Structure 1
């Protein structure tokens, strides 16, 4: 029944085959390949003339946001790890088919200099910067806290938290009044899984970051909000984000009994970047298949 309007069956609702990739993985090698809106998202100029930078824009939720932004009339820069070049080139092709500008900026957000320089490079290449989407993240499962290494902790917090701070600090030199910052947090901020303890801690920190910054940025006429996805079918899951035994029934424990597809989050990212969200700041939007974020 895939393709119907019933949310239980609107997208793929079967079991996934086990499939493991080395981190960070490539979306184009997944089965099935996630729907990021390449064909399914239809825009109507909600972001006409805007300039956006999306971290982790090569695959998954970041890819869906980048594609939707372009289809809504924005020029888009994406950052990604060099190993993800093949996915990034696909996104560039989709964006350019819409008639919008696509800028590819590979690098590692664990490198503070790259993270800071990235903002200025994007602004220069796009000719401005209205929207900053802090989406890139590290998620690697570890079932036993005794085996959680300092290296993994450092990498996870550096990408998921420190780079957010570094990039916002630089972006405030460019974001105009009416600008928007969107942070990808997670249902894990509210319902942490034991095997994702470090990831969940960073996602909780991002919620606090958004709320704390909303007051500061409001004085500058800039909004900041977060999106909290539930279980969404992305390469993050098969490249160390979940144990292989969890993959077949991934997402089926939600009230909607399936994993989400990245395109199902696209409209929320568009809303928060658009002028329609002029009275929305400091908020967390759950797109979780029914999993609660406010209990």
Structure 2
């Protein structure tokens, strides 16, 4: 059980614990970079969906989806505070660093979770709200509380949580979801393992110290490298499907093919370079490029479906 529960209890000397956190610390709990990516992918589901939606509904829906993503991140940080304190990459987060109390983070995350789902249900429809609620539950409970500490396939199964936003976006517009957003779901789902396992290769010592059974610590670095290549090979052709299905254009086709080949090339370099600092550098390069890769795919989809992000928003919202 997470040590986050222990942090909720008052100090043994009877003094009430105090928080030194500022607004920036609470914002950090929301994992803003992840929130941004969620908004981009949800917007991708909205612009590629048939039809349009009222501007107020569209803006409110995007805001609710962003807040729901932030709530998931907050609950994840609350639960993982004990292992975050053991890893160099996460030790400076607000809870393990002592700036935010675990009880405050829990309350903050729960309020945002309920609020985001209610708002989405009110401004959009029940299906999109139910999907957002399930996404929050999946990430906070299924992934964070169960999968992350019990199986090396935690990232594979848990990656579904990060892949749902395009389906939520289409549901906002149509009240349903179809093959278009399912393809976008598949792209994100297949992208997640090579993205996170590249980082896990570099941070395997951190994960071992925290007792998290990431694939490099369980199956070994060699098996992890092979899995990275396998998922990259599966991802590249799936990422081309939007162009083949007609909701991505010529620019998307060119970008998806080019960056897909680059993704495969970097993963093959990770497979080939296995020793010393060069191996860490290769894994870091793949990790960094994978973020750009996914952003470019959805940015081009937004551009082609609305002549740029500033045009895509009015197209989706009105």
* TM-score, normalization by structure 1: 0.32
* TM-score, normalization by structure 2: 0.30
Q: Which of the two has higher C-alpha Rg?
A: 2
Structure number with higher helix proportion: 2
Structure number with higher strand proportion: 1
